[in-house]
Structure 1
Amino acid sequence: MKNAQAPQKDAYSLILDAIDIGVYRPGDRLVESELAERFGVSRTPIREALQRLETQSLLTRDGRSLIVASLDHNQLAELYVVRSELEGLAARLAAKHATEEEIRVLQDMLESDRELVHDPAMLARTNRRFHKMVHLASHNRYLVQQLDLVYRTMALMATSSLAREGRGATALAEHGEIVAAIAKGDGDAAFAALKAHISKAFVTRLKADADAVEAAE
């Protein structure tokens, strides 16, 4: 009897995950044959995935080549405005609709993440998991779908704001305020805490980008 195997991800998900974790970064060229070889997938689903990613503006054309898109300052600012409002709404709804089990999971995530405070790469991954749990706890499928689109675009950010020195511990403290407000059923406080969290993350990113420009000069 053969061992049960986990379902394989499709080509689109494989490429998107690779962009998300930084295997492919903004400006990198994606070659159909190389992707097929890397992921062990035939070229037809790779081609279809690349077309889908281009349609979603996650890839862009450079002559005949497809490259990972990048976000300029205005696009980044617009993305954070939308993210802030939608995530704030998710937190507000979570404070109203989250089950006891969902709140417990958020609390457990917070405790586990405190052990990763000095591992920015891993903390970035668990950070996305935490935010996704808040989204799901809103119990609003349409809001979750819109936030999925926002986070898909966030894959184009070359680095996480959590990589900034000291940001990890601060971000976890902010997560604690969000969870506390949700647990109390205080929608206004949850909304405000999550919006403030996103605002501080944006400030951190802007400072990192400014430092990168200065270093290049």
Structure 2
Amino acid sequence: MLPSDLAGSDDSQASLPRSERAYQQLRSAIQAGHLAPGTRLREVELAESLGLSRTPVREALSRLESEGLVVNEPNRGMMVTQLDASMVSELYVMREVLEATAAALAARHATDVEISLLRDIVERDLVLAEDPERLVSNNRLFHETLHRCAHNRYLLKTLRTLHESMALLGRSTLAVPGRARGSYEEHMALVEALEARNPTQAEQIARRHIQQAYKVRLSLWVEEQSR
């Protein structure tokens, strides 16, 4: 069942169709970790928590299933997707390919103002080093801004879908000691490659950045599985 603080209606969602409202609230709950991987999703309980009928909840669950955030397991019903080692690997393979492509395109097409904005975002990492929650938010902003700097609507759409699935991974790799500093240095090197208008270098740095993130993610996954 959803936490009580998510059950209330948001003014910004009040005018949305009920199925869209259910979809957005459930997706947000999954991404925030309120509905953890493996959680059973019962229509009756979710409908009661959201203050909706079962039909829009069923439609929302179907949409989430098509996006990979929810899976319908035989004999178990709907549940939040649990990732295994191969699925984690597949996510990072795709992320490496797409992020590297975005970086190369950004080196060609981003405006000077956009690149300057990316530098400002990276520099905020140093200020936010002692504030993990805001640091994670700033990291997300950096990558979302980089994606937009590629100026390719189809790549942007694909990256958004991928990053919704990344929410299933749980806590950020920035929580691992030393990773925040490494991420900052990798981001700064990428910005410098963009400023130099060097697509090849930008692509290589982006690939290494995701590869490093994957190594840390894998160590976190192994640690969590051993508990």
Per the shorter chain, which TM-score range?
A: 0.7 to 0.9
1:189 matches 2:186: no
Identify the match of residue 59 of structure 1 among 61, 67, 70: 70
User: For residue 38 of structure 2, what is the aligned residue in structure 1?
Assistant: 27
Structure 1 residue 39 displacement after superposition: 4.5
How much has 1:140 moved relative to structure 2?
0.7
Give, in angstroms, the shift of residue 148 of structure 1.
1.4
Q: Partners in 2 of 1:134 and 1:59 — Cα distance?
A: 28
One-letter code of the match for 2:139? N
How many Å apart are 1:102 and its aligned residue?
1.1
1:118 Cα deviation after fit = 2.7
- Look up the match of 2:222: 210
Structure 1 gap segments, 5+ residues each:
none
Do 1:120 and 1:168's aligned partners in 2 also have CA atoms closer than 8 Å? no
Contact preservation (8 Å) 1:136, 1:144 = yes
Relative to structure 1, the CA distance from residue 30 to residue 116 in structure 2 (aligned partners, 3 Å threshold; closer, same or farther) is farther
Q: How much has 1:44 moved relative to structure 2?
A: 3.2
Corresponding letter in the other structure for 1:103: I
Residues 15-72 of structure 1, C-alpha deviations (whole Å, 9 max, x = no match): 2122112111111122334434544555433221111111222112243532110111
CA–CA distance in structure 2, aligned partners of residues 120 and 39 of structure 1: 30
1:5-154 to structure 2, matched below 5 A, reads 6=12, 10-62=21-73, 63=75, 65-154=77-166
**What CA RMSD, in Å, does the superposition of the two structures yield over aligned residues?**
2.0
Specify the SS of the correspondent of 2:169: coil
Flag the 1:29–1:178 CA change in 2: closer, same or farther, 3 A: same
Per the TM alignment, residue 180 of structure 1 is displaced from its structure 2 partner at its CA by 1.3
Report the Cα distance in structure 1 between the residues aligned to 2:132 and 2:32, rounded to whole angstroms.
Answer: 12
* Deviation at residue 160 of structure 1 after TM alignment: 1.6
Instruction: Give % identity.
Output: 40
Deviates more, 1:85-94 or 1:154-163: 154-163
Task: Tell me how many residue pairs correspond in the alignment.
Answer: 211
